[in-house]
Amino acid sequence: MLGTSRKMGESVLRSRFFWYLPEVTSIRASMKPRILVDQDIPGAVDIFSGFGEVQPVPGHDIDARAVRHADVLVVRSITRVDASLLAGSSVGFVGTATAGLDHMDIDFLTASGIAWASAPGANAESVVEYVLATIAVIASRRSASLHRKTLGIIGCGDVGERLAVRAESIGMRVLRNDPPRADREGADAFVELNRLLPKCDIISIHVPLVRSGMHPTEMLVGPRAFGLIRSSAWLIQTSRGGTMDEVWAARARTDGRLDALVLDVFAGEPHPDPAIVEAADVATGHIAGYSRDAKRNGLLMIRDALERYLGLGTPSSSAGGNHQGVLKRPLDSRGQPVPVHDPSWLDMVLRQVIDVRSDDTRFRRVVASSNPVEGFHAYRANYPARYSWSRYAAWPDATGEEVGRLCALGFTIGEEADVSGQVV
């Protein structure tokens, strides 16, 4: 695991990524490698075209025949990278523009001397923004204030820790559960799972799918856990299918033993159980981390690793992000400003930059369609453009209280905003 930092506009993105780069590469820097990329990764052709000949291919068409003569392969999570795909090919480097490695046979790649790289943390901000947006939707529907509500975060890595900081900054209490971190850093800052669950108003899961070892996460939130969760709790699952028992979650929601259920990942992808989707208050198809910025961040991290693999030295600098627009002040039906602490205020702000309701509606149509598997992949491949909140500015005459809350959420403050207030 190595570290890199790269400047993006006014901010600096600090990312950690895993890679394996054998000492002897299969391609000399003076040669132009043949690069096969998943065509549904936005910007991949432009980012990698400077290295060699780039061939974009639909993700579902990336098979042994397609990769046989490729030197470099860049994929998404829909492509299983193992011996059946790469045996007999000329591939010497595989990059996955994703945080997870469930689709990569790392043992095979390492044993075969094939370099690989992934991008954990690249989509962390995007997932955090999705989680906060779904919390805002539920809060608006329930007319519930988030102030001093207790958020339990299961897994405090790149995503979970950022969520914790953001939630605390808008006045929520946070309980952290992360056994691996507790082992490394001491247990004082963390809460055991069976103690955390009964104390939380909202629970959000952010763990990788780990099937063995000291801290397995497969079915981590299962029948026993559901016996500890409050019936008034909201449960949000954006990590990996298989880390939570979806059947129990759906049953708990249907029976009134959960007050709200948000699902973005499913064990049955790309064909989730329609009954489980129906039980959820918000259901989307694995798009929590799908902002344009997240995808670009992932590609830039893979590009860095490829540059090192090819012996090209220092990674290239990236282009900064572009400003996307100015937010509008939330107004009620009479055209009056909605107070910051009104349960609908946060939802009205966030709906301008991430429309979870539309994502949910489109996904339910996919699940109910005659070809849900094809629809699932099309839903993700054609997901509408979504950008980081830092690309949006507050309305010019924002009050101090509005500025404080918007800053805490990660928005930019315009020159005319009143910056004298504080979030209370």
- For 246-275, the DSSP string reads HHHHHHHHHTTS-SEEEES--TTTTS--HH
Lowest-confidence region among 28-37, 267-276, 307-316, 354-363: 307-316
Strand partners, 174: 151
**Contact 307/301 with Cβ under 8 angstroms?**
no
Asked, as a colleague might, if the bond just before 216 is cis with ω within 30 of 0, I would say: no
In a domain, 79, yes or no: yes
- 367-384 residue pLDDT tens: 999 999 999 999 998 999
- 379-414 residue pLDDT tens: 998 999 999 999 999 999 999 999 999 999 999 876
Q: Kindly state whether residues 130 and 258 are assigned to the same domain.
A: yes
**What is the pLDDT averaged over residues 22-34?**
61
Q: Kindly state whether residues 13 and 117 are assigned to the same domain.
A: yes
Q: Kindly state whether residues 56 and 132 are assigned to the same domain.
A: no
pLDDT for the residue 60:
87
Which one is predicted more confidently, 55 or 15?
A: 55
In a domain, 381, yes or no: no
**What is the pLDDT averaged over residues 116-122?**
90
Query: How many domains, in total, are found in the chain?
Result: 2
Q: Kindly state whether residues 102 and 6 are assigned to the same domain.
A: yes
Quick one: DSSP state of residue 104?
B
Which one is predicted more confidently, 340 or 422?
A: 340
Alpha helices in 16-143 (DSSP H): 44-48, 64-67, 83-86, 106-111, 124-142
CA atoms within 13 A on the CB side of 410: 21
CA atoms within 13 A on the CB side of 20: 17
Q: Kindly state whether residues 137 and 277 are assigned to the same domain.
A: yes
Which domain CATH number covers 23? Answer: 3.40.50.720
Residue 4's pLDDT band, with cuts at 50, 70 and 90, is: very low
**What is the pLDDT averaged over residues 136-143?**
97
Burial category of 382 from C-beta neighbours within 10 Å (exposed 0-12, middle 13-18, buried 19 and up): exposed
**Contact 158/120 with Cβ under 8 angstroms?**
yes
- 240-260 residue pLDDT tens: 999 999 999 999 999 999 999
Q: Kindly state whether residues 128 and 115 are assigned to the same domain.
A: no
Q: Kindly state whether residues 88 and 175 are assigned to the same domain.
A: no
SS3 category, 182 = helix
Parallel, antiparallel, or unpaired: how do β-strands 53-57 and 72-75 relate?
unpaired
Q: Kindly state whether residues 304 and 264 are assigned to the same domain.
A: no
Catalytic residue numbers?
Answer: 240, 269, 286
**What is the pLDDT averaged over residues 37-58?**
92
In a domain, 154, yes or no: yes
Instruction: Report the percentage of the chain scoring pLDDT > 70.
Output: 88
- 57-116 residue pLDDT tens: 998 899 999 999 999 999 988 899 999 999 999 999 999 988 778 899 999 999 999 999
**What is the pLDDT averaged over residues 310-315?**
69
In a domain, 237, yes or no: yes
